[in-house]
């Protein structure tokens, strides 16, 4: 079975919840592709490396932009603080990645609309 490479940005409370769900989802649902825990980013290298070890990610980085640019990452989970959601989601969309962003998606209605306009037409 092929897999989807997961990049997780932010390894606090919600990062742990996403990682836990991603590790279990293939046991609960019959998925066409199972998630592969590829790369985790946090604000510094120590936090990121601890998260990779605890959550079972293959690699760690302190650079969220490098995570988004990483060819092995197909889906970007954003669980960093609110102020980063829009810039991270915009960068991930621009890089052609699927995005799973924690709430709030944006800090205002205007910002949410701006983000919606970045999404490629289907």
Ligand X SMILES: NC(=O)c1ccc[n+]([C@@H]2O[C@H](COP(=O)([O-])OP(=O)(O)OC[C@H]3O[C@@H](n4cnc5c(N)ncnc54)[C@H](O)[C@@H]3O)[C@@H](O)[C@H]2O)c1
Q: Judged by CB, which is closer to ligand X: 33, or 108?
A: 108
Question: Taking the complex as a whole, how short is the minimal distance between the CB of residue 88 and ligand X, in angstroms?
Answer: 8
Q: At 89, is the secondary structure helix, strand, or coil?
A: helix
Q: Please provide the size of the chain in residues.
A: 122
Q: Among the residues of 1-122, which ranges form H helices? A: 13-28, 45-55, 64-69, 85-94, 109-118
User: Is cis: bond before 104, omega within 30 of 0?
Assistant: yes
Nearer to ligand X, 21 or 94 (CB): 21
For residue 76, the minimal CB distance to ligand X (Å) is 11
13 binds ligand X (CB under 6 A): yes
Binding segment toward ligand X, per CB under 6 A, in 19-27, 37-45, 52-60, 105-113: 37-45
Provide the angle, in degrees to the nearest 10, between the axes of the packed helices 109-118 and 85-94: 10
Position 89 contacts ligand X (CB under 6 A): no
Enumerate binding residues for ligand X (CB under 6 A). 9-15, 41-43, 47, 64, 79-82, 84, 102-103
């Amino acid at each position: 079975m092929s897999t989807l490479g997961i990049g997780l940005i932010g390894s606090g409370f919600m990062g742990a919840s996403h990682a836990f769900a991603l590790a279990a989802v293939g046991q609960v649902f019959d998925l066409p592709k199972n998630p592969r825990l590829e790369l985790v980013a946090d604000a510094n290298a120590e936090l990121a490396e601890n998260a990779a070890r605890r959550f079972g990610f293959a690699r760690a980085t302190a650079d969220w932009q490098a995570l988004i640019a990483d060819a092995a990452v197909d889906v970007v989970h954003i669980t960093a603080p609110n102020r980063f959601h829009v810039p991270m989601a915009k960068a991930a969309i621009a890089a052609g990645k699927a995005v799973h962003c924690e709430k709030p998606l944006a800090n205002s209605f205007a910002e949410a609309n701006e983000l919606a306009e970045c999404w490629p037409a289907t």
